[in-house]
Amino acid sequence: MDPSKLHTHPEVARILERRRFLKNAAAGTLLVALGGGTYVVAAADDPRAKTQRPDGRPRLPPGQRIIDALKPMGGDPGDPSPASFKLHVHGEVENPVTLDFAKLLALPQTDLTCDVHCVTGWSMFDATWRGVQLAELAKLVRVRSTARYVIFEAANSYTSNVRLSEALAPGVLVAHQHGGKPLSRPHGPPARALVPDLYFWKSAKWLTGIRFSARDRPGYWETRGYHNHADPWKEERYG
């Protein structure tokens, strides 16, 4: 056989393929197919998985693996158009407001980088977002002292519930950009909730309302067997 054609021989091609696979694995990455897409998954010994957050928790919560991009997780989409966007901020507040997209953009904007953790087992590190802090909206509507929970309301009646104390954390946003660009179709445009330190189902896409509530109102997944609180470090996956 002509040696220059050797790499096309099926047996040799298999060996070369295997060698490339091992090289990638040794470099710390692995390609896997997950529901239609191919994602770079960090190896179990990825050094980033071994670091700690400033609050002392391990950067990678238990039972999670790192992937390199948000995986679109579906859901019943809403209207992605900024022109028809309306966000109702209401409930236990002195001054309920309805914000259109221009009004949302006129509020102080926050850029942040955070890790995102999906209950199905993937985590994306260093996701970048731009949006308005929930604390900023709480200030605007003057939340009453009776409020204890925030209920995120989204298209087609999807909701999620978050304790008020956790929803006021500086990382909680109404986000309209991810990765320096407007949210793309699968990720809930024109604006979604972002609650970085709870499993990602709390981060309602196609957001239509924020309700400050005196009582807890378990949402879409919380009434379908998932945990009411959803702390990834306590593996609060199922209720």
Ligand X SMILES: Nc1nc2c(c(=O)[nH]1)N[C@H]1C(S)=C(S)[C@@H](COP(=O)(O)O)O[C@H]1N2
152 lines the binding site for Mo ion (CB under 5 A): no
85 lines the binding site for ligand X (CB under 6 A): no
Smallest gap from residue 124 Cβ to Mo ion (A): 13
The residue among 22 and 34 lying less far from Mo ion, judged by its C-beta, is 34
Sign, Cα dihedral of 120, 126, 128, 133: positive
Q: What are phi and psi of 17, to 5 degrees?
A: -60, -45
| Cα gap 179→202, rounded to integer Å | 20
Whether the upstream peptide bond of residue 190 has omega within 30° of 0, thus cis, is yes
72 lines the binding site for ligand X (CB under 6 A): yes
Q: Which stretch in 68-76, 104-112, 170-178, 186-194 sits in contact with Mo ion by CB under 5 A? A: 68-76
122 lines the binding site for Mo ion (CB under 5 A): no
Which residue has tokens 């009776």? Answer: 146
The residue among 91 and 196 lying less far from Mo ion, judged by its C-beta, is 196
Smallest gap from residue 123 Cβ to ligand X (A): 11
201 lines the binding site for Mo ion (CB under 5 A): yes
By CB under 6 A, how many residues form the interface with ligand X?
18
Which residue has tokens 């997950």? Answer: 34
Sign, Cα dihedral of 198, 204, 210, 214: negative
| Cα gap 9→115, rounded to integer Å | 44
Smallest gap from residue 22 Cβ to Mo ion (A): 33
239 lines the binding site for ligand X (CB under 6 A): no
The residue among 138 and 198 lying less far from ligand X, judged by its C-beta, is 198
Residue nearest to Mo ion (CB): 201
Smallest gap from residue 15 Cβ to ligand X (A): 37
186 lines the binding site for ligand X (CB under 6 A): yes
Q: Which stretch in 81-89, 103-111, 181-189, 211-219 sits in contact with ligand X by CB under 6 A? A: 181-189
Find which of Mo ion, ligand X, none residue 204 binds, CB within 5 to 8 Å per kind: ligand X
| Cα gap 160→216, rounded to integer Å | 10
* Residue pair 239/228 in contact by the 8 Å Cβ criterion: yes
Question: What is the end-to-end Cα distance of the chain in Å, rounded?
Answer: 63
The residue among 90 and 202 lying less far from Mo ion, judged by its C-beta, is 202
Q: What are phi and psi of 57, to 5 degrees?
A: -75, 150
| Cα gap 184→111, rounded to integer Å | 17
| Cα gap 100→36, rounded to integer Å | 35
Smallest gap from residue 173 Cβ to ligand X (A): 14
Residues near ligand X, by CB under 6 A: 70-73, 75, 118, 154-155, 158, 186-188, 200-201, 203-206
